[in-house]
Structure 1
Amino acid sequence: MIVVTAAGGPTGTAVVRALRARGEPVRAVVSRRGPRPELTDLGAEVVVAELSAPMAWSSVFRGADAMYLIWPNFDPDEAEGAAALFAEARRAGLPRMVYHSVMRPQLRVMPHHAGKDRAEEALDSSGLPSWRVLQPCSYADNLDSQLASAQTSGVLRSFWGLRTAQSMVDLRDVADAAAVLLTEDGLDGGTFEAAGPEALTAPRLAELIGAWLGDEVVADDVVPGGEVPTGYAARCQRTMFDHYRAHGFVGSPRVLTDLLGRPPRTFADHLAGQPRPGEEAP
């Protein structure tokens, strides 16, 4: 049995799907009660537990061989909450923990990176018998919400400028890599970057989207105005895009290639798997 947290979100659901494709039993942890057909249709056992609330995790860990810990995005409690959960897992005798981090967590100018960096430090000293860390870069899937507007307006909005590049990774590849770390031996104590195979600027992304749509798309630089927000989530987003604008966010695909046993999907591959605007998803 493998426990996956934040299982109702895009990453969690993708990891559940990848594990079920391998025939692994999955206990999917969600924060609220209610129907979860996206998980139950995959054959997952759905349980309700709040990551940041004090509770007994023994029932969640019962019979589990591993956990994939995904913390909700831009949560200021991640570092302390993850450390507390690592301790709960050690007390419960969990055989393996895999933590969903981020590429270059040491870039502490971004608060959410700093939180994940501190969580990784806590994992290293947790006393858990087996742990691994997956560090994805930005998802190609993050641009899917712009595909319909790009078709109608001919514009791709870039919040990180037009000059610097990112290594966009397909979420399906992230999920497949997570499944490897959760189920295969010989990977203990490792931190593994998950970066896509191309360094893509916004103009290049717009060109690829235009080719997929069969019409011209151009990138528009959306320059932020005003001071950096004080709210945690807004500050995380602003500092993230400011860093990307100045420095890009590019990594090597070599590690992900080795984990998957094949090259990661290109951005064109990602687009090929998406429904065209106005069409229903397969």
Structure 2
Amino acid sequence: MIVVTAAGGQTGRAVVRALRARDLPVRAVVGRRGPRPELEELGADVVVAELTQPLAWSGVLAGADALYLIWPNFDPDEAEGATALFAEARRAGVGRVVYHSVLRPQAHSMPHHTAKDRAQEALDRAGVAWRVLQPCAYAQNLDEEVQRAADTGVLRSFWGLRTAQSLVDVADVGESAAVLLTEDGLDGGTFEVAGPEPLTAPRMAELIGEALGREVVAEDVIPAGDVPVSYRARCRRLMLDHYRAHGFVGSPRVATALLGRPPRSYAEHLADVLASA
């Protein structure tokens, strides 16, 4: 049985979907009570547990062969909380821990990357068999902007017009996670998962325009004011500042090896998004 945390989010659902497609039993952990129709329809055992209370996890982890630890985005407790859960996984005898990190966690200009870097260091000391997945930014994160661009003819870019991102489809992230959770010979490895091409905002606008059959242009949206104080808003602002200055590009070679095929292109993702509009 495989435990997946934060299973109600887009990453968690993708991982659960990939595991259930392999007919593997999954315990899907969510933070709040309430209907979870997609997880239930997939046949997952849905349980409620708070990530910041690791002592309550002995029952959740009982009998688990593997744990996929996803921490909620932009949460200031990630480094300490993940460290505590790694220790709980060791006490519970979990055979394999896979941590959901991020591409380039050593980029400490972004606080949430620093937290994931610290968590990876703790995982290496945790006394468990481990693997780490380091995905690039998701193609799905920009779907609302794509829909807006389809309506207005303008794609807003909050990371400038010059630098690129290797956007990856979250379905490929889920499939890659399933490989790390189930296949032998990968312990102690960190695996970057990036899309097949670096995309600037103008190139994305061009692809959207091609899919729509009309012109779409990219517009630079420059942030105003000081960096926010709240952790979540600060993380988001500093992340976009980093993307604007340096981009966020990775190689697709590791994803291709894990998936046994090239990762999905942004054009393929766009076709799905615009077809569902």
By how many angstroms is 1:148 displaced? 2.2
**Structure 2: distance between partners of 1:54 and 1:164:** 40
**Structure 2: distance between partners of 1:170 and 1:210:** 20
CA separation of 1:204 and 1:275: change in aligned 2, threshold 3 A: closer
**Structure 2: distance between partners of 1:200 and 1:25:** 37
Query: What is the Cα-based RMSD across aligned positions, in Å?
Result: 1.0
Instruction: Say yes or no: does 1:6 pair with 2:6.
Output: yes
Q: Secondary structure at the match of 1:55?
A: helix
**Structure 2: distance between partners of 1:4 and 1:277:** 28
Instruction: Say yes or no: does 1:276 pair with 2:275.
Output: yes
Give a deviation string over 1:174-221, Cα, whole Å, max 9, x none. 100000000000000000000111010000001111111222111110
Instruction: Say yes or no: does 1:21 pair with 2:21.
Output: yes
Partner of 1:219 in structure 2? Answer: 218
**Structure 2: distance between partners of 1:120 and 1:197:** 25
CA separation of 1:54 and 1:2: change in aligned 2, threshold 3 A: closer
Partner of 2:102 in structure 1? Answer: 102
By how many angstroms is 1:53 displaced? 2.6
**Structure 2: distance between partners of 1:213 and 1:16:** 32
TM-score normalised by the chain length of structure 2: 0.98
**Structure 2: distance between partners of 1:151 and 1:260:** 31
Partner of 1:165 in structure 2? Answer: 164
By how many angstroms is 1:275 displaced? 4.6
Look up the equivalent residue of 2:136 and give its one-letter code: C
**Structure 2: distance between partners of 1:2 and 1:96:** 9
By how many angstroms is 1:149 displaced? 1.2
**Structure 1: distance between partners of 2:33 and 2:55:** 16
Look up the equivalent residue of 1:78 and give its one-letter code: E
Unpaired segments of 5 or more residues in structure 1? Answer: none
By how many angstroms is 1:230 displaced? 1.1
Look up the equivalent residue of 2:236 and give its one-letter code: Q
**Structure 2: distance between partners of 1:215 and 1:276:** 16
Look up the equivalent residue of 2:127 and give its one-letter code: G
**Structure 2: distance between partners of 1:54 and 1:127:** 17
**Structure 1: distance between partners of 2:69 and 2:178:** 12
Give a deviation string over 1:14-45, Cα, whole Å, max 9, x none. 11001000111100000001111010000000
Partner of 1:55 in structure 2? Answer: 55
Give a deviation string over 1:41-73, Cα, whole Å, max 9, x none. 000000000101353211111111101000000
CA contact (8 A) 1:151 1:277 kept: no
By how many angstroms is 1:76 displaced? 0.3
The correspondence of residues 97-246 of structure 1 with structure 2, limited to 5 A, is 97-128=97-128, 130-246=129-245
Q: Secondary structure at the match of 2:242?
A: helix
Partner of 2:44 in structure 1? Answer: 44
Q: Secondary structure at the match of 1:57?
A: helix
CA contact (8 A) 2:66 2:97 kept: yes
By how many angstroms is 1:277 displaced? 5.7
Unpaired segments of 5 or more residues in structure 2? Answer: none
**Structure 2: distance between partners of 1:148 and 1:252:** 27
**Structure 2: distance between partners of 1:72 and 1:81:** 11
Look up the equivalent residue of 1:19 and give its one-letter code: L
CA contact (8 A) 1:133 1:191 kept: yes
Look up the equivalent residue of 1:204 and give its one-letter code: R
Q: How many residues align?
A: 277
Look up the equivalent residue of 1:236 and give its one-letter code: C
Partner of 2:249 in structure 1? Answer: 250
**Structure 2: distance between partners of 1:197 and 1:261:** 14
By how many angstroms is 1:151 displaced? 1.4
Q: Secondary structure at the match of 2:273?
A: coil
Q: Secondary structure at the match of 1:39?
A: helix
CA separation of 1:42 and 1:93: change in aligned 2, threshold 3 A: same
**Structure 2: distance between partners of 1:151 and 1:275:** 8
CA contact (8 A) 2:54 2:85 kept: no
Look up the equivalent residue of 1:142 and give its one-letter code: N
Look up the equivalent residue of 2:72 and give its one-letter code: P
CA contact (8 A) 1:2 1:64 kept: yes
By how many angstroms is 1:274 displaced? 2.5
CA separation of 1:266 and 1:142: change in aligned 2, threshold 3 A: same
